[in-house]
């Protein structure tokens, strides 16, 4: 479906939803809300139309390095597929290069690619680890994600201070306790940088 047609269709559905909720869609504050919500939703779920390999766009480089590479505190914004409410937080990614490294900005772009979909945090964490390992044939990969979920904060149990932590460890991060411990230590102790 063409983007303009998709936006128009989503806006119509939002308009119907507002009416079903009992809202007066002719009042000033809601006049352009269907279009704004349509644009917002299409942006927030735009990752479903992205191919992670195209996101990387060839930014894989040969390297003699076989050390651990870590990018910490990458902002994460996603929508919970169960309630369509946001969850947000930060992501830490580490991998051990095996003759190839990934352009650093591509790691953040991959986070967005997978986060801008209707998601659950557990799957998001695993998808990111799998794609990084595939992209550079990494010896090992570790991804830790810490997020707050508005579906827990605004409704249901209403727990304001809860943070969900998920991890996915592959290869040497899974098989070697020392490698995993080094990764966890570096992402925790890196708070003092800057």
What does the domain layout of the chain look like in residue ranges? 3-44, 58-192
pLDDT given at position 192: 55
Please give the CATH number for the structural domain made up of 3-44: 1.10.286.10
Answer yes or no: are the C-beta atoms of 136 and 97 closer than 8 Å.
yes
pLDDT of residue 190: 66
Instruction: State the number of CA atoms in the 13 A half-sphere of 113 facing the CB.
Output: 20
Query: Tell me, which fold does domain 58-192 have in CATH?
Result: GTP Cyclohydrolase I, domain 2 (3.30.1130)
Tens-of-pLDDT digits for all 194 residues of the chain?
788 999 999 999 999 999 999 999 999 999 999 999 999 999 999 999 999 999 999 999 998 878 899 999 999 999 999 999 999 999 999 999 989 999 999 999 999 999 999 999 999 999 999 999 999 999 999 999 999 999 999 999 999 999 999 999 999 999 999 999 999 999 998 665 44
Note the pLDDT of residue 88: 98
CA distance linking residue 16 with residue 188, whole number of Å: 47
């Amino acid at each position: 479906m063409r983007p303009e047609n998709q936006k128009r269709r989503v806006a119509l559905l939002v308009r119907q939803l507002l009416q079903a909720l009992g809202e007066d869609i002719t009042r000033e504050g809601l006049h352009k809300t269907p279009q704004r919500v349509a644009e917002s939703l299409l942006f927030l779920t735009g990752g479903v139309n992205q191919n992670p390999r195209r996101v990387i766009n060839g930014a894989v480089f040969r390297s003699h390095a076989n050390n651990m590479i870590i990018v910490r505190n990458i902002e994460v914004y996603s929508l919970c597929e169960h309630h369509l409410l946001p969850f947000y937080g930060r992501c830490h990614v580490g991998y051990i290069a095996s003759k190839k490294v990934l352009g650093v900005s591509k790691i953040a772009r991959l986070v967005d690619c997978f986060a801008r979909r209707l998601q659950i945090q557990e799957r998001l964490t695993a998808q990111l680890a799998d794609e990084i390992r595939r992209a550079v044939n990494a010896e090992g990969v570790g991804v830790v994600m810490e997020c707050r979920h508005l579906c827990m904060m605004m409704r249901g149990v209403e727990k304001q201070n809860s943070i969900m932590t998920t991890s996915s460890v592959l290869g040497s991060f899974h098989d070697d306790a020392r490698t995993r411990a080094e990764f966890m230590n570096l992402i925790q102790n890196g708070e003092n940088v800057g």
